[in-house]
Amino acid sequence: MIFKYSNSNKRYHTLDYYYKNKFKSKVIKISLNAGFSCPHLKTGGCIYCSKIGSGEFAGDINDDLITQFNEVKKMMNKKWQGKYIGYFQARTNTYAKVEVLKEKYEKILNLDDVIGLNIATRPDAITDECLDYLTELNKKTYLTIELGLQTIHEKTAKLINRGHDLNCFVKMVEKLRERKIDVVVHIINGLPYETNEMMLETVKFLNNLDIQGIKIHMLQILKNTKLEQIYIKNPFNLLTKEEYINIVCEQLQYLKEEIVIHRLTGDPKAEDLIAPNWVLKKIDVLNGIDKYMKKYDIIQGQKQTKNEKLIDF
């Protein structure tokens, strides 16, 4: 069985399928570090965040953006050829004056074969002026905004020091979609003390929002983070690889088949990782998900629910 939104043996809506169907070409994302900061650092930042703000595989911050782009492109071109999307990945990539954003974004858009931008940011870091600029940008190129949610549960959000509430996230999704800007949401499985049911509730809630894509991550304990300090002082259970595969496959069953799966696990740098070690074997995890879905005849969206109200604002 081949899922209708896949051009391989996957049973979920693959990003490769989405890009090839939309652009009639292989599309390669080039990760960049534009040197932005994060407004949340003033209040300590998220407890799991590394010193470079989730941009471990972005370009070298010591290089200018064009050099970064060309270096990553050169490396990627050893495996693939196609068109490119500039991925502003590290930290909060709308946290600057619009003139600064415009200079950085459009420098990449002016490069040959660049067809769009992915911009990772926070829902509380997009001003009205920024929204107006993004609206104009979206008319000129293929634009995607990536928002970090991680969980819908406020108790967990406070524990991880996320710095914004669920209502803030929902309102920003609505504002972006009113402007026809695509939204990709990041969630994390295995956050401290969350149950499988809580992780499923996060996906069920997102299923009722107008989002176009999702990135699913496993909680990683990295060196020199507040999470490392918490874990050493009061160790909490981390998901095993098998538990992670099981919950991801269950989540995929609830996600609408139209939602594009941008990521199913993360890949930290080995030298930065405290635990769990199994996340370093990304291919094993992805293959495990494929095998599990095939074994139990799972496809994305088969348990999809509609209008399930889980949160009162």
**What are the residue boundaries of the structural domains of the chain, listed by start?**
15-295
Question: How high is the pLDDT of residue 4?
Answer: 86
pLDDT > 70: what percent of the chain? 93
Q: What is the pTM of this model?
A: 0.93
Higher pLDDT, 139 or 62: 139
Mean of pLDDT values over 102-125: 97
Residue 150: which of 218, 87, 213, 248 has the closest Cα?
218
Residue 307 confidence class, pLDDT cut points 50, 70, 90: very low
What is the rounded distance in angstroms from the CA atom of residue 311 to the CA atom of residue 280? 35
When pLDDT is averaged across residues 217-224 and rounded to a whole number, the result is: 95
pLDDT the model gives residue 21: 95
pLDDT range class, residue 163, cuts 50, 70, 90: confident
The predicted structure's pLDDT at residue 231: 94
Asked if pLDDT for residue 204 goes beyond 80, the answer is: yes
pLDDT value of residue 7: 83
Nearest to 192 by CA among 164, 166, 229, 140: 229
Tokens of 249: 């496959």
Could you give the CA distance from residue 299 to residue 74 in angstroms, rounded to a whole number? Answer: 36
Q: What's the pLDDT score for residue 46?
A: 87
Residue that wins the pLDDT comparison between 305 and 279 = 279
Question: Which pLDDT band, with edges at 50, 70 and 90, does 72 fall under?
Answer: very high
Least confident of 39-48, 95-104, 170-179, 239-248: 39-48
The encoded tokens of residue 104 equal: 């950085």
**How high is the pLDDT of residue 1?**
59
Q: Which two tokens stand for residue 75?
A: 């490396």
Four-way CATH pick for 15-295: 3.40.50.20, 3.30.420.40, 3.30.70.3000, 3.20.20.70: 3.20.20.70
